[in-house]
Structure 1
Amino acid sequence: MTLALYSGNLLAQSHEWTNLHDEELRRRAVKAAGEKDLPALVSLTTAFLTVQGKSGVLTSPRTVEAYELGVRHFVEFATAQAVNILRPGRHDAQNYINTMLAAGRKPAGVHLKVAAASALYRALRWAGATEADPFREARVPKDPTPGIIKRPPYTEDELADVLDRADTHAKFLLFLTAHAGLRISEALNLHWDDIDEAAKRIHVRSGKGRKDRIVAMSTSLARAARHYRGLYAPGGPDHTDGKRTTPPENVFRYAEMTTARYHLSKAFKLAGVDFRGFHPGRKYAGTRLLRQIKDFGRVAAHLGHESVDTTRKGYASLAADDLKDDLAGW
């Protein structure tokens, strides 16, 4: 079964459930859970996130998609294991977790799936379909290995090789992630007036948690931005190249992460470098900047992290012998 993932206005989508009287809301939710109706359960969870979630109607498309995929994963498990969704057994939630771990899924990925399944049950309780809260006592073991070790940044040589082979679009996108430290969603949502090459700064207006921030540009990034603007800004020779799917004020002609992944992975393949996603670029920015300024707070601000601990654990590290010069005179 194929799901139609996030599209359109969340508020309009939620009306399918919120416009119902309480008894009808409960009846439809009970029916969906009893029949393990995947599209209906996904729709119910999305409506709940829209009405009761932390970000409400401003929940990002990526978050909605992640929860939709997580609900699908749990419902498939419940179907295969004959789990009664409305009346789960006392061990069903932990069995779900243990099954994922035994299959080789990392604790961080399991946490995401559990968050989605928990949201499904919050949605069912919101609809009055059940009182069950099976994941309340379930436990996912912590992974003691820091994220920077499990998923290391790209190296200087790897980035240099890719930049040598990348086209203008891929090169500029890589600079935005590996020098400005932007999330891929932040990069793809940039408008032309967000980039000031002369002042060497970028105004991120769609950061995580809807937080704006100003990001400094490296000399190389500013140079790449000027070149890119000359080609693709409104009025530029390649602005209307027949491939644009975004409004003219958008910097990139595409807005989907899958499309960005396709273009960037092609550049990595040409360079003979393994493409490990967009985050290793952000980690490169964090680690290089930390080794230069040795200030986790400033690096966290550059990357748009609310907590310095996030930066320390997953996005930046100092060399093991970083203190050798400081200790030399002891």
Structure 2
Amino acid sequence: MTLVQYQGNVLAQSRAWTNLHDEELRRRTVKAAGEKDVAALVSLTLAYLAHQGGSGVLTSPRTVEAYALGTRQFVEYATANAVNLLRPGRHDAQTYINHMLAAGRKPAGVQLKVAAASCLYRALRWAGATEADPFRDAKVPKDRTPGIVKRPPYAEDDLQDVLEHANVHEKFLLFLIAHAGLRISEALALDWTDLDEGARRIHVRSGKGRKGRVVAMSTSLARAARQYRGQYGPGGPQHHDGRRATPPERVFRYGSTFTARYHLGKAFQAAGVPFRGFHPGRKYAGTRLVQQLKDFGRVAAHLGHESVDTTRKGYAQLAADDLKDDLAGW
């Protein structure tokens, strides 16, 4: 049996290893770790993630991709620095963390890489190849800079400039991100039945953690949705190239973030506004709502945050001059 790198089916990925007898599972894992076989170790990690992880085979593709990349990078580091994967030294894990920090990687990014490397070691222990748990006591310093400062929202003027240069498709996608506050994965997963322009509601069925929610549409988003449905909805004109990469019930005729970035990036480029990804648009929605409502709970519900602290700390801190009217005359 040949073990290959993850290719999209987490169930098949898991079975490639779980179908092995325990001794064969251990033997192949020890061999892969000894040879620092990147493809096999990524495959093992993702099999463990699908079989024993918190979300199992329902783990999001984005998480799978992040763990695959993080595992690959750690194994490459271990190869370059003669780290024994099955018997790591007492300082090897912290040295890896310090190496990433010294290279300029931010603490939040380092934490993600540590999560992937830790998952690799859980997989190695699961396979019976080692008892090592090198990242158990390793420390990643906290980044005290608020998320809203590190990755600020798009400015109101910049979004207006982009909208002036955007076509029907680009406007609709931008409003979904910057008014409805949808994650790009949530936007791309929408079906036509999820949109109710009359009631100004969106049914998000594939939110983070597989949690659904109902999101209110702004007046501008509802108008953009009607225009988009008229051009691209069932029974409307076909896409310019006549092809579909997704089922016909899907709102967007592609399913990848890369393609969405290409489309929305064109509007930003035409407006002369730097495109910083989708998240600053989502932060715009959160920040504007907090300033308007002064209610983190309602904003957290709109954005689909499980914890209000996530909204408060990372997405929608009040502007520094929020109290200027209250302080007038002091």
Q: What SS does the corresponding residue of 2:140 show, helix, strand or coil? A: coil
CA distance in structure 1 between the aligned counterparts of 2:237 and 2:25, rounded to whole angstroms: 55
Query: Are the counterparts in 1 of residues 6 and 43 from structure 2 also a CA contact under 8 Å?
Result: no
Deviates more, 1:166-175 or 1:226-235: 166-175
Q: Distance in 1 between matches of 2:165 and 2:239?
A: 22
Partner of 1:181: 181
Specify the code of the residue in structure 1 equivalent to 2:246.
T
Partner of 2:75: 75
- TM-superposed CA distance for 1:225, in Å, is 0.2
1:214 aligned counterpart, secondary structure: strand
State the distance in 2 between where 1:4 and 1:176 align. Answer: 34
Consecutive unaligned residues of structure 2, counting only runs of 5 or more, are none
Match of 1:92 in 2: 92
Q: Which amino acid in 1 is paired with 2:200? A: K
| Structure 1 unaligned spans of 5+ | none
1:205 has 2:218 as partner: no
Match of 1:33 in 2: 33
2:126 corresponds to: 126
Letter in 2 for 1:41: L
Shift of 1:326: 4.1
Partners of 1:319 and 1:16 lie apart in 2 by: 52
AA in 1 matched with 2:223: R
1:319 CA drift (Å): 2.0
**Taking structure 1 as reference, are residues 11 and 244 closer, same or farther at Cα in structure 2, changes over 3 Å only?**
same
CA RMSD of aligned residues (A): 1.4
Match of 2:59 in 1: 59
Alpha-carbon distance change, 122 to 4 in structure 1, aligned in 2, over 3 angstroms: closer
**Shift, 1:239, TM fit:** 4.9
**Per-residue deviation at 1:167?**
2.3
TM-score by length of structure 1 reads 0.96
What is the distance in 2 between the residues matched to 1:162 and 1:243?
27
Superposition TM-score, scaled by structure 2 size: 0.96
* Separation (CA, whole Å) in 1 of partners of 2:34 and 2:239: 52
The equivalent of 1:135 in structure 2 is 135
Whole-Å Cα distance in 2 between the matches of residues 145 and 62 of structure 1?
25
Asked if structure 2 preserves the Cα contact closer than 8 Å seen for 1:6 and 1:65, the reply is no
What is the CA distance between 1:268 and its match in structure 2? Answer: 1.1
> Which residue of 1 is the match for residue 16 of structure 2?
16
2:238 aligned partner, one-letter code: D
Q: Does 1:218 align with 2:218?
A: yes
1:169 CA displacement? 1.9
Task: Say which SS state the counterpart of residue 114 (structure 1) adopts.
Answer: helix
The answer for the alignment partner of 2:305 in structure 1 is 305
SS at match of 1:24: helix
1:193: Cα distance to partner?
Answer: 0.3
Whether the 8 Å CA contact 1:74–1:117 is kept in 2: the answer is yes
Q: Which residue number in structure 2 is paired with residue 259 of structure 1?
A: 259
Distance 2:214 2:241 in 1: 30
The one-letter amino acid paired with 1:207 is G
Q: How far 1:95 sits from its partner (Å)?
A: 0.8
Render the CA deviation track for 1:255-279: whole Å, top value 9, x for unaligned.
Answer: 0111111111222111111111110
Deviation of 1:232 after TM superposition, in Å, equals 0.6
Q: What is the alpha-carbon distance in structure 2 between the residues aligned to residue 162 and residue 268 of structure 1?
A: 5
Identity of aligned residues (%): 80
1:98-141 C-alpha deviation (Å, 9 max, x unpaired)? 11111110000000000000000000000000001000011000
Within the alignment, does 1:167 sit opposite 2:181 as a pair?
Answer: no
Partner of 2:152: 152
Give the drift of 1:241. Answer: 4.1
Give 1:110's aligned amino acid. Answer: V
